[in-house]
Structure 1
Amino acid sequence: MHIKTKFFGEIELNSEQLWHFPKGIPGFEDEREFVLLPIEGNTMFQVLQSAKVSDIALIVANPYSLVEDYTFDIDEPTIELLDIKLEDDIFVLGVLSLKDPLETSTINLQAPIVFHTLKKTAKQMIINDNKFAVHHIIGSQPSLTKEEA
């Protein structure tokens, strides 16, 4: 299948690359199919691209690699929706808001996206805890870009 993307033009992918969001993403509830795309030369960030609407593309990253003490409990509705049985079957990404300079960019720690690797399903979960910010400044991080290859 071919999809049009916001940052990479038209690309070809197979259906196994699709992630299904049973309830969409807050703000994009009608969008249910997304693909994670790598950013060339950057191992820290990825693009979560809608499979149907090219303009819907979010920059995402592993919040645990950006925030040392980040932790949260997955709520029961998310566990049930994604049918999570084992912690090893999931991974978590956070949505970034990129700014110039890069160190002033932020990550949303209040709404992590939980991915179930075996079922290829995902959900953006809203955390009702003020411990972490919606706009957490990522600061100066080593290895934001991979320049040595």
Structure 2
Amino acid sequence: MKVESTLFGSFEVAEDKIIEFPAGLPGFEGYRRFALVHEEGAEATVQFLQSLDDAEVAFPLADPVSFGIHYEFVLSDEEQALLGLSAPEQALVAVIVRKETGAGLPDSAGLRANFMAPLVINAEARRGLQKVMNKVECDITMRARD
């Protein structure tokens, strides 16, 4: 399938690489088909969840491990059924990140990750959801990077 993106231009996505978010994402409920993409030749530390329904909608994602964070939370039975998960190992977890520039202060620049609303994707079934937590319901362990 040919995809148009304001970030990546025109590119092809195989049908078996399309990820469906049956409920959409909060604030973007009408967008349900996405693909994971990254800049050609760039290391895939940050990938983009590119909407296939709107060329202007793309969310930068990172694996929590890239921040040195081990991250666990519970999915409801309904969420597991929606994703088609039968084992925790099938779930890929990513967080949406954004660049923080601060008020011109060097120590406030960097990436900010949204750990209160991670994305959970079943790569085999190509189904995903955004798990929105109103309070910290997860265990987060930070580890020093080598």
Structures share fold, TM-score greater than 0.5: yes
Task: List alignment gaps of at least 5 residues for structure 1.
Answer: 133-140, 143-149
Q: Contact 1:3 / 1:52 at 8 angstroms: preserved in 2?
A: no
Q: Which residue of 1 aligns with 2:23?
A: 23
Deviates more, 1:24-33 or 1:95-104: 95-104
State the Cα deviation string for residues 69-104 of structure 1 (Å, max 9, x = none): 432222332112112101121111100112347952
CA separation of 1:48 and 1:83: change in aligned 2, threshold 3 A: same
CA separation of 1:91 and 1:2: change in aligned 2, threshold 3 A: same
Q: Which residue of 1 aligns with 2:79?
A: 78
**In structure 1, the residue corresponding to 2:55 is in which secondary structure?**
coil
Give me the CA root mean square deviation: 2.1
Q: Which amino acid aligns with 2:20?
A: H
CA separation of 1:5 and 1:32: change in aligned 2, threshold 3 A: same
- TM-score normalised by structure 1 residue count: 0.80
User: Could you tell me how far apart the structure 1 residues matched to 2:126 and 2:69 are?
Assistant: 27
Following superposition, the deviation at residue 13 of structure 1 comes to 1.6
CA separation of 1:76 and 1:128: change in aligned 2, threshold 3 A: farther
- TM-score normalised by structure 2 residue count: 0.81
Q: Which residue of 1 aligns with 2:131?
A: 125
Q: Which residue of 1 aligns with 2:121?
A: 115
| Total equivalences in the alignment | 134
CA separation of 1:86 and 1:38: change in aligned 2, threshold 3 A: same
CA separation of 1:95 and 1:103: change in aligned 2, threshold 3 A: same
State percent identity of aligned pairs: 25
Q: Which residue of 2 aligns with 1:9?
A: 9
